[in-house]
């Protein structure tokens, strides 16, 4: 399967930069069968429409969920509300350049992998991009196969870092006991409490990442799903409830911590 895929690419495309949308569509018929089991989500930021559409199409054919934007300020809006496994970021953009966008994302403590895509090909440009928080830098025109390989590597590496621990159906810690299958818990006083579906999902996510900060974007993606944007306050209210259930002193929490501007952390 893989060899076949590579063959089609090298045969049809040397550089996606020069690729028109029409030729992309021709390739689609050849490649429609290729799908990955889980969909990673990618944000493509590119102001040049033909390249943006070509990237979107080819990444979708690889089985990725793709969102596109064409300017810097929109990236900042989108990443606040949605979780991405990777951002492909053009540097020369209207209104705000890619380097500034990347810097701003990092200032918000968002560690989403970022791959720069730029016509600027001096080593000084590359160094600057990586220094400002980029994880990779690819110059235009590029080879599509190389781009896809780099994309895959960045996503796999990032997923490994954030790999969740397996949590049993009944989880016990010093704050109480949670029965995920029954959607109920025993609080710190020994009383039984019912858990809503979302409460159980959020508890599970935090416990899976015990000792790590789980970002707000990640929580939104897993617990609320795409295209639903509750406010930070909503997640805060869930955390307040968890403290009521599982903390002997909810003002000095030992288990459920809010990490300002970043997310939430559980410690057993």
**Binding site residues, Ca ion, CB under 5 A:** 47, 90, 92
90 versus 247: smaller Cβ distance to Ca ion? 90
Closest distance to Ca ion from the beta carbon of 47 (Å): 5
Using alpha carbons, list the distances in angstroms from residue 96 to 26, 74, 117, 230: 34, 10, 15, 27
Contact yes or no for 83/214 (Cβ under 8 A): no
Shortest CB 51 distance to Ca ion, Å: 8
Q: Which has the closest alpha carbon to 114: 44, 62, 195?
A: 44
Residue pair 91/117 in contact by the 8 Å Cβ criterion = yes
Closest to Ca ion by CB, 73 vs 164, is 73
* Spatial distance between the Cα atoms of 87 and 89, rounded to a whole number of angstroms: 6
Q: In angstroms, what is the minimal distance from the CB of 70 to Ca ion?
A: 9
The whole-angstrom separation of Cα 200 and Cα 231 is: 19
Q: How far is the CB of 96 from Ca ion (least distance, A)?
A: 12
Distance in Å, CB of 241 to Ca ion, minimum: 46
Q: How far is the CB of 94 from Ca ion (least distance, A)?
A: 8
Nearer to Ca ion, 90 or 199 (CB): 90
Judge residue 96's burial from the number of C-beta atoms within 10 Å of its C-beta, 0-12 exposed, 13-18 middle, 19 or more buried.
middle
Q: What is the 8-class DSSP label of residue 2?
A: H
User: Which CB sits closer to Ca ion, 47 or 82?
Assistant: 47
Identity of the residue, 69 or 223, whose beta carbon is nearer to Ca ion in the bound complex: 69
Could you give the 3-state DSSP secondary structure of residue 208? helix
Q: Which is nearer to Ca ion, 11 or 95 (CB)?
A: 95
Query: Which residue has 């508890």 as its token pair?
Result: 203
| CA diameter of the chain | 67
Residue, CB closest to Ca ion: 92
């Amino acid at each position: 399967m893989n060899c076949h895929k590579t063959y089609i690419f090298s045969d049809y495309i040397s550089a996606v930069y020069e690729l028109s949308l029409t030729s992309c569509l021709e390739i689609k018929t050849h490649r429609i069968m290729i799908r990955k089991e889980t969909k990673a989500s990618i944000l493509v930021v590119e102001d040049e429409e033909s390249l943006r559409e070509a990237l979107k199409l080819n990444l979708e054919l690889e089985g990725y969920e793709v969102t596109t934007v064409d300017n810097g300020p929109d990236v900042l809006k989108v990443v606040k509300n949605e979780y991405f496994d990777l951002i492909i970021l053009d540097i020369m953009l209207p209104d705000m350049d890619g380097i500034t966008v990347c810097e701003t994302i990092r200032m918000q403590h968002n560690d989403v992998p970022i791959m720069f895509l730029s016509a600027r090909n001096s080593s000084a440009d590359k160094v600057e991009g990586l220094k400002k928080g980029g994880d990779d830098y690819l110059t235009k025109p590029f080879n599509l196969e190389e781009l896809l390989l780099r994309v895959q590597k960045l996503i796999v590496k990032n997923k490994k870092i954030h790999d969740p621990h397996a949590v049993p159906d009944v989880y016990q810690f010093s704050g109480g006991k949670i029965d995920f299958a029954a959607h109920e818990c025993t609080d710190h006083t020994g009383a039984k409490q019912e858990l809503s579906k979302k409460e159980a999902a959020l508890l599970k996510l935090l416990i899976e990442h015990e000792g790590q900060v789980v970002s707000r974007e990640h929580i939104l993606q897993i617990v609320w799903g795409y295209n639903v944007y509750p406010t930070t306050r909503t997640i805060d209210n869930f955390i307040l409830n968890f403290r009521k259930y599982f903390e002997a002193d909810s003002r000095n929490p030992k288990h459920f911590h809010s990490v300002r501007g970043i997310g939430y952390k559980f410690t057993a």
